[in-house]
Amino acid sequence: MLMMYSHHDYPAEHFLNREISLLAFNRRVLAQAADRNVPLLERLRFLCIVSSNLDEFFEIRVAGIKEQIKLRSHTTGPDHLGAQAVFRRVTREAHEIIREQYALLNEEILPTLRREGIVFYKRSEWNEAQQAWIHEFFRREVMPVLTPIGLDPAHPFPRVLNKSLNFAVELEGKDAFGRSSGAAIVQAPRALPRVIQLPPEIAGADHGFVFLSSILHRHVGELFTGMHVLGCYQFRVTRNSDLFVDEEEVKNLRTALQGELPQRHFGDGVRLEVAESCSEVMADFLLQQFGLGREDLYQVPGIVNLVRLISVPDRVNRPDLKFTSFQPGLPKQLSGRYDLFDVVRRSDVLLHHPYQSFTPVIEFLKQAADDPQVVAIKMTVYRTGTDSVLMEHLLRAAQKGKEVTVVVELMARFDEEANLSIAARLEEAGAHVVYGVFGYKTHAKMMLVLRREEQGYRRYVHLGTGNYHPRTTRFYTDFGLLTCNDEIADDVNEVFKQLTGLGKASALKHLWQAPFTLHSNMLEAIRAETEIARAGRKAQIIAKMNSLLEPEIIEALYAASQAGVQVDLIVRGVCCLRPGVPGLSDNIRVRSVIGRFLEHHRIFHFHADGAEKLYLASADWMERNFFRRIEVAFPVLDPKLKRRVIKEGLKGYLADNCQAWDMDGDGCYRIRPSRRVRTCAQELLLGELAEE
C-alpha cells in the first residue's frame, strides 16, 4: 500500500530556509571562482556555473515563490516563512551574489586572463584592423539575420524568449513613413554565437575575443537608416520555466508535453537583467512590459549572460590554466579484453566515476546488444543526452530482435525535448517505450539484461547513483554496481514490472523503493541506531547526498543526536537541518565539499552494531524523492566493495581539509583553517583510481 506523506508541524526553529540554503550553495561555488589556487580558466568556468545555477533558481524556485504571492497562498515550508518574506530575503541575497560575481569578473579574472594573452576587447579598444574585421563580420554574419522591430501601434512589444539576448534602442528622428516612436527592439537570434574569436593576425593577442553585444552596440545604427541612435541597451528576461501537466486532463503524456514545451520560453517574467548603462526610463519601460517590479531588476556591469563564457576555456589551448587532464582507471578484473558477463558471474564490479571509467557500463550494453544469448534488455532513462552511445546500442539491440524495454522519464526537467526525441527513435526501432507512472518521476538508475545460459536464464544488473550520461560521468562523482546477485536482480525485475505494467507492489528482498519503503526504511535505520546509542553501544550514521530537506528525517536525526549517535552528513547543496545546536543537534556535523568534480553520489551508512549497513541511491533526503519519485536504494553486499565505498565515498570526505565547508547552526559555511597535512578527497581519489 502506498504511504502518503503527512506533514508534521515541527518547531520552525528546527529548520533553515530552503531557498536561502540554495543561495548559500552558490556562494560556495562562487568561492571556487575566487580561489587563486584554482587554475585561471577553471575559475572562469566556475563563475559561469554560478550564472547557470542562478538562471535555474529564478526559473523554478523564484518563479514558484512569485506564484504563491500572486495566489495569496498561505502555504509555508517547515521554517514557517511566508512567500513574501522568502522573496524579500532571496532577492536581497541574489543581488549581493551577482554584485560580487561581476566584481570578481571585472576586477580580477578578466585582467588576469589579459595578462595571460586571453583578451576580451571592449569597443573602445578596437584598433583599425579589428574594427574593419568586426564590421565585415557584422555585415556578413549578423545583419542578415536581424529583424529590428520599431515600437508603434502597428508593432507592439515583441514576445521575448526566455533568457534570450535582446537590445532596447532609443531613437531620434523620423523614418521613411514619418514615424517617430523613439524606441525599437532588436532580438539576437539564438543561432548567433555570443562570444566571437578574432583571427590570430587580427587579435593582437594569443586569444582575442569580442562579445556579440559589443558588435551590435557598435553597428546598431546601420539597422535604422537616417535615424539617430540615442542609446542601445542589452537586456535579458528570465521566465517561469516550470512545466505544468494536469493529471486529470491528460490522456497521452507525450502529446501533452509536446504541446506544453514551446510555452516554456514564454512563461511569466521573474527577473530582468540590463546593462548598468541602461537609462532609468528604458529600465522602467522594460519592467512594465514584463510585469516586474524594481526588486526584479538586475543592472550588471558587463554582458547580461555570463553563461555564454563557459565555452571559452574549451576554445583556449592553455593546459597550464586548466585542471590537469587524467585518464579514468579500470578495476583490475576489467583490464585488457574482457567478457563482462563472465567477470560479473565471478564477482560484483564497483565503479567509482569519474575516477574510474564509465566505459564498462557502455560495454555492458554493447555486449548485451551483440550477444546472441541475450534475450531482453530493460533500462531507465532520466538524462542521457541526444547523441548518447548508449542509445545507439539500445537501438541496435532492438533492431536485432531482442526484447528492449526503456522507461523514459519525459518530465526530467530541461531534458524533456531530448527524451521525447530518444523515445521516438527507440519506438521506430521496435523497442517498448513506456513513461513510467504518471505523477511519479522515474529517477532510479537501473539496467537489467536477461541472458540464456546452460543453467537457464540469468539476470545481470547495473545500478547507479548517477544518470546514464557519458558526458556528465566525466565530472560527476557517482558509484555504479554491476551484479548478477539473484535476489537483487529479482528486486530490479519487480520494479520494472511495476513501471511497465499494473499490479500491487511486491515486497522486495534488498532494495528500498520510493514511494513505498524508502522513507520508512530510512527512518527505521535511523531509529535503530538511536536505540543502539540509548543502550550505551557505539552508534554512528554517515550519509552523503545533494540535498537534505525532509522534516521527518531531520527530526529523526535530531533524536538520534540527542541519544548519542554520532551523525556525519556530507551535503553538497541545500541543507535545512541545523547542526551543532546545543540540546538539539550537538552530535551532528554537516559539511559540503565543492571542488573540481560535482559531488553527486548518495551514500547511506549505518553502523548497525557492527553490521555496517550500506546503501547507495540516486535519491536525496527530500520529500520529492521519498514520495513523488520512483527511486531505489540498493545495498553493497560484498564486504570488500563495502569497505571501498566507506573509504572512498565517506571517510575521505570527512578527512578533507581543503575543499570541505563546515556548516554551523545558522546555515553559515566556513572552510576551517587547518594545520594538519593537506588532505583533498578528490585529489586522493584521482591518485588512487585514475590513470596518469
pLDDT digits (tens, 9 = 90+) for 271-311: 999 999 999 999 999 999 999 999 999 999 999 999 999 99
Nearest by Cα to 193 from 142, 156, 261, 233: 142
The answer to whether residue 236 scores a pLDDT higher than 50 is: yes
DSSP-derived secondary structure letter, 557: H
Q: Rounded to an integer, what distance in angstroms lies between the CA atom of residue 446 and that of residue 287? A: 47
Q: Is residue 1 part of a domain?
A: no
Q: In angstroms, what is the C-alpha Rg of the chain?
A: 27
Q: Is residue 481 part of a domain?
A: yes
Q: Is residue 3 part of a domain?
A: no
Q: Rounded to an integer, what distance in angstroms lies between the CA atom of residue 532 and that of residue 607? A: 10
Q: Is residue 668 part of a domain?
A: yes
pLDDT at 27: 98
443 an active-site residue?
yes
Judge if 49 and 66 occupy the same domain: yes
The answer to whether residue 153 scores a pLDDT higher than 80 is: no
pLDDT at 415: 52
Facing residues of 437 across strands?
Answer: 440
Judge if 80 and 20 occupy the same domain: yes
For 285, phi then psi, to 5°, come to -60, -45
* pLDDT band, residue 384 (cuts 50/70/90): low
**Domain, as residue range, for 371:** 332-506
Q: Rounded to an integer, what distance in angstroms lies between the CA atom of residue 504 and that of residue 98? A: 50
pLDDT at 545: 98
Judge if 431 and 571 occupy the same domain: no
Task: Please answer whether residues 254 and 435 qualify as being in contact, where contact means their C-beta atoms are separated by less than 8 angstroms.
Answer: yes
Judge if 502 and 518 occupy the same domain: no
Judge if 55 and 117 occupy the same domain: yes
Instruction: Tell me the residue type at 447.
Output: M
Poorest-pLDDT segment among 5-19, 280-294, 358-372, 457-471: 5-19
Write the CA distances from 29 to 39, 72, 392, 403, 451, integer angstroms: 14, 34, 35, 44, 45
Q: Rounded to an integer, what distance in angstroms lies between the CA atom of residue 156 and that of residue 136? A: 32
Catalytic residue among 217, 219, 352, 443: 443
Strands 512-514 and 588-593: unpaired
Judge if 280 and 337 occupy the same domain: no
Judge if 26 and 134 occupy the same domain: yes
Residue 158, preceding bond cis, omega within 30 degrees? no
Which domain CATH number covers 550?
A: 3.30.870.10
pLDDT at 256: 45
For 383, phi then psi, to 5°, come to -130, 125
Q: Rounded to an integer, what distance in angstroms lies between the CA atom of residue 108 and that of residue 104? A: 5
Query: For the chain, how many structural domains are there in total?
Result: 3
Judge if 351 and 498 occupy the same domain: yes
Judge if 413 and 437 occupy the same domain: yes
Instruction: Tell me the residue type at 233.
Output: Y
Q: Is residue 326 part of a domain?
A: no
Judge if 88 and 198 occupy the same domain: yes
For 635, phi then psi, to 5°, come to -80, 155
Task: Please answer whether residues 505 and 517 qualify as being in contact, where contact means their C-beta atoms are separated by less than 8 angstroms.
Answer: no
Q: Is residue 292 part of a domain?
A: yes
Task: Please answer whether residues 95 and 298 qualify as being in contact, where contact means their C-beta atoms are separated by less than 8 angstroms.
Answer: yes
Nearest by Cα to 542 from 644, 634, 613: 613
* pLDDT band, residue 246 (cuts 50/70/90): very low
Judge if 245 and 392 occupy the same domain: no
- Angle between helix axes 18-34 and 40-56 (nearest 10 degrees) is 160
Contacts of 153 (CB under 8 A, 6+ apart): none
Cα–chain-centroid distance for residue 374? 35
* pLDDT band, residue 386 (cuts 50/70/90): low
Contacts of 8 (CB under 8 A, 6+ apart): 551, 552, 555
Q: Which residues of 359-388 are buried (b: 16+ CB within 10 A; e: fewer)?
A: bbbbbbbbbbbebeebebbbbbbbbbbeeb
What average pLDDT score do residues 153-163 get? 77
Q: Is residue 7 part of a domain?
A: no
Judge if 275 and 359 occupy the same domain: no
- Collapsing DSSP to helix, strand or coil, 258 comes out as helix
Query: What percentage of the chain reaches a pLDDT higher than 90?
Result: 73
Q: Rounded to an integer, what distance in angstroms lies between the CA atom of residue 679 and that of residue 692? A: 20
For 424, phi then psi, to 5°, come to -65, -45
DSSP-derived secondary structure letter, 156: P
Picking from 476, 506, 536, the residue at the C-terminal end of a domain is 506
* pLDDT band, residue 175 (cuts 50/70/90): low
The answer to whether residue 65 scores a pLDDT higher than 60 is: yes
Picking from 321, 342, 361, the residue at the C-terminal end of a domain is 321
pLDDT at 250: 40
Picking from 321, 350, 369, the residue at the C-terminal end of a domain is 321
